[in-house]
Structure 1
Amino acid sequence: MTAAAFLVTASVIWLGQRASTISSELNAAAGLIPQLNTEITSNKPLDAKTTADKIRSHTGAAREAAGDPLWTLASAIPVLGPNFSAVTEVARTADDVSTLGVTPLVSVFVSLNWDSLLPSGSGTNLEPIQKAAPTVVSAAYAVRSSAERLAAIDPSGLLPQVADPLERALTQIHAATGALDAAADASKIAPELLGVDGHRNYLLMIQNNAETRASGGIPGALAVLSFDRGSLTLGSQSSAGDIGVMSPIVALDPDQQQIYSGRVGKFMQDVNLTPDFPTAASTAQAMWERKTGQRVDGVISIDPVALGYILDATGPVTIRHPEFVALASAGLPTELTGKNVVQTLLSDVYAKIKRPADQDIYFAGVAKEIFAALSDGKGNSKGLIAGLSRGADEGRVLIWSGLPAEQSVIAKYALSGSIAGPSVAPAQFGAYFNDGTGAKMDYYVKRTVQLVKECAKDGYQQTTVRVTSINTAPADAATSLPAYVTGGGAFGVPAGTVQTNIVAYGPVQANMETANLDGQRTDFASHRHANRPVGVVAVRLAPGESKTVEFTFGKIVQHTEPNLAVTPTVQAVKDVILPTEIPACGQ
Structure 2
Amino acid sequence: MTERDTRTAVPRRPGSRRGAVGVPGSGPGRGARIRRRALRTALLTVAALPVAAAVWIAITGVFARSELLAAQRDLDALRQSAAPAQAPGSPVGSATKRLAAVRSATAHAARAHRLTSGAVWYTAALLPWAGDPVATVRGAADAADRLTGEVLSPLASALPAAAPDGRGGGMAAALMALRQHAPQLASAARVTAEVRADVHRLPGTTWLPAADRARAGLARQLDRLAPMTTDVSVAARVLPPMLGVDGERRYFLAFQNIAEARGTGGVPGAFAVLRADRGRLSFERFGNNTEMEAAKADLDRRDLQALGAEFTARYRDAAPTRVWANSNISPHFPYAGRIWAAAWRKRTGERVDGAIAVDPVTLSRFLEVTGPVRMTDGTELTAANVVDLTERTSYARFGDVTRRKAFFVEAARAAAGRLMAAADDSRMLPRLLVAVYHAQRDGRLKVWSAHPQEQRILEPRPYAGALPDAPGPFAGLVVNNAAGGKLDYYLDRSLVWEAEGDGCSGGGRPVTVTVTLANRAPASGLPGYVTLRADAPPYRTRPGDNRLLVSYYAGADASLTGATLDGRSAQVAADVERGHSVFTLDLELPAGSRRTLVLHLLEPHADRTPTLLRQPLVTPLRAVLKPGGTCHA
Q: 1:558-573 alignment to 2 at 5 Å?
A: 558-571=606-619, 573=620
Q: Deviations over 1:453-506 (max 9, x none)?
A: 4445645433333332233333346xx622464136646574622110011111
Between stretches 52-61 and 195-204, larger displacement belongs to 52-61
Q: Closer, same or farther in 2 for the Cα pair 1:7/1:111, shift >3 Å?
A: farther
Residue in structure 1 matched with residue 74 of structure 2 by the alignment? 36
Q: Deviations over 1:68-90 (max 9, x none)?
A: 35666778889989998887655
Residue 436 of structure 1 deviates from its aligned partner by 0.7
Residue 293 of structure 1 deviates from its aligned partner by 1.4
1:99 aligns with 2:155: no
Stretches of structure 1 lacking an aligned partner (at least 5 in a row): 326-332
Residue in structure 1 matched with residue 50 of structure 2 by the alignment? 12
Q: Closer, same or farther in 2 for the Cα pair 1:142/1:211, shift >3 Å?
A: closer
Q: 1:37-116 alignment to 2 at 5 Å?
A: 37-43=75-81, 44=93, 49-65=99-115, 67-69=117-119, 91-108=141-158, 111=161
One-letter code of the match for 2:65?
A: N
Of 464, 481, 496, the residue aligned with 1:416 is 464
Q: Deviations over 1:101-157 (max 9, x none)?
A: 33444455585669667867xx6563233233333333333333444556677x59x
1:438 aligns with 2:484: yes
Q: 1:521-540 alignment to 2 at 5 Å?
A: 521-540=569-588
Residue in structure 1 matched with residue 396 of structure 2 by the alignment? 351
One-letter code of the match for 1:555?
A: E
Between stretches 263-272 and 520-529, larger displacement belongs to 263-272
Residue 203 of structure 1 deviates from its aligned partner by 0.6
SS at match of 2:327: helix
Of 323, 342, 350, the residue aligned with 1:267 is 323
Residue in structure 1 matched with residue 313 of structure 2 by the alignment? 258
Between stretches 63-72 and 237-246, larger displacement belongs to 63-72
Take 1:458 and 1:298, find their aligned partners in 2: how far apart are those partners? 44
One-letter code of the match for 1:434?
A: N
Residue 13 of structure 1 deviates from its aligned partner by 4.3
Q: Closer, same or farther in 2 for the Cα pair 1:370/1:146, shift >3 Å?
A: closer
Take 1:552 and 1:117, find their aligned partners in 2: how far apart are those partners? 57
Paired residues of 2:472 and 2:605 also in contact (CA < 8 A): no
Of 215, 221, 232, the residue aligned with 2:281 is 232
Q: 1:162-201 alignment to 2 at 5 Å?
A: 164=212, 172-201=221-250
One-letter code of the match for 2:573?
A: A
One-letter code of the match for 2:433?
A: I
Take 1:168 and 1:111, find their aligned partners in 2: how far apart are those partners? 32
Residue in structure 2 matched with residue 542 of structure 1 by the alignment? 590
One-letter code of the match for 2:324?
A: M
Of 340, 353, 358, the residue aligned with 1:302 is 358
Residue 7 of structure 1 deviates from its aligned partner by 4.2
Take 1:275 and 1:217, find their aligned partners in 2: how far apart are those partners? 10
Between stretches 57-66 and 270-279, larger displacement belongs to 57-66
Take 2:57 and 2:418, find their aligned partners in 1: how far apart are those partners? 57
**How well do the aligned residues superpose, as a CA RMSD in angstroms?**
3.7
Q: 1:120-519 alignment to 2 at 5 Å?
A: 126-148=175-197, 160=207, 164=212, 172-243=221-292, 244=294, 246=296, 251=304, 252-261=307-316, 263-320=319-376, 325=377, 334-377=379-422, 380-381=428-429, 383-421=431-469, 426-455=472-501, 458-459=504-505, 460-476=508-524, 481-483=527-529, 485-487=531-533, 490=536, 494=541, 496=543, 497-519=545-567
Q: Closer, same or farther in 2 for the Cα pair 1:413/1:117, shift >3 Å?
A: farther
Residue 555 of structure 1 deviates from its aligned partner by 2.6
Residue 356 of structure 1 deviates from its aligned partner by 3.3
Paired residues of 1:393 and 1:415 also in contact (CA < 8 A): yes
Residue in structure 2 matched with residue 23 of structure 1 by the alignment? 61
Q: Closer, same or farther in 2 for the Cα pair 1:103/1:240, shift >3 Å?
A: closer
Q: Closer, same or farther in 2 for the Cα pair 1:368/1:483, shift >3 Å?
A: closer
Paired residues of 1:454 and 1:461 also in contact (CA < 8 A): yes
Paired residues of 1:465 and 1:552 also in contact (CA < 8 A): yes
SS at match of 1:557: coil
Take 2:347 and 2:468, find their aligned partners in 1: how far apart are those partners? 29
Residue 188 of structure 1 deviates from its aligned partner by 2.7
Take 2:154 and 2:266, find their aligned partners in 1: how far apart are those partners? 42
Residue 24 of structure 1 deviates from its aligned partner by 2.8
Q: Closer, same or farther in 2 for the Cα pair 1:91/1:547, shift >3 Å?
A: closer
One-letter code of the match for 2:462?
A: A
Residue 226 of structure 1 deviates from its aligned partner by 1.2
Residue 231 of structure 1 deviates from its aligned partner by 1.5
One-letter code of the match for 1:15?
A: A
One-letter code of the match for 1:97?
A: L
Take 2:199 and 2:352, find their aligned partners in 1: how far apart are those partners? 45
Q: Deviations over 1:210-262 (max 9, x none)?
A: 22101111112221111112212111333334332537777332323333325
Residue 66 of structure 1 deviates from its aligned partner by 5.1
Take 1:473 and 1:91, find their aligned partners in 2: how far apart are those partners? 53
Q: Deviations over 1:506-559 (max 9, x none)?
A: 123322333211111100001122221111011112332322222333233132
SS at match of 1:538: strand
Residue 568 of structure 1 deviates from its aligned partner by 1.7
TM-score normalised by length of structure 1:
0.83
Q: Deviations over 1:147-190 (max 9, x none)?
A: 4556677x59x975599476765555454333322222223322
Residue 408 of structure 1 deviates from its aligned partner by 2.6
Q: Closer, same or farther in 2 for the Cα pair 1:78/1:511, shift >3 Å?
A: closer
Take 1:516 and 1:284, find their aligned partners in 2: how far apart are those partners? 37
Q: Closer, same or farther in 2 for the Cα pair 1:435/1:63, shift >3 Å?
A: closer
Q: Larger Rg: 1 or 2?
A: 2
Take 2:170 and 2:159, find their aligned partners in 1: how far apart are those partners? 18
Stretches of structure 2 lacking an aligned partner (at least 5 in a row): 1-38, 82-92
One-letter code of the match for 2:312?
A: Q
Q: Closer, same or farther in 2 for the Cα pair 1:455/1:306, shift >3 Å?
A: same
TM-score normalised by length of structure 2:
0.78
Identity of matched residues, %: 23
Take 2:234 and 2:550, find their aligned partners in 1: how far apart are those partners? 34
Of 543, 547, 551, the residue aligned with 2:599 is 551
Paired residues of 2:555 and 2:603 also in contact (CA < 8 A): no
Take 1:383 and 1:79, find their aligned partners in 2: how far apart are those partners? 46
Take 1:173 and 1:351, find their aligned partners in 2: how far apart are those partners? 46
One-letter code of the match for 2:466?
A: S
Paired residues of 1:465 and 1:504 also in contact (CA < 8 A): no
Take 1:417 and 1:20, find their aligned partners in 2: how far apart are those partners? 49
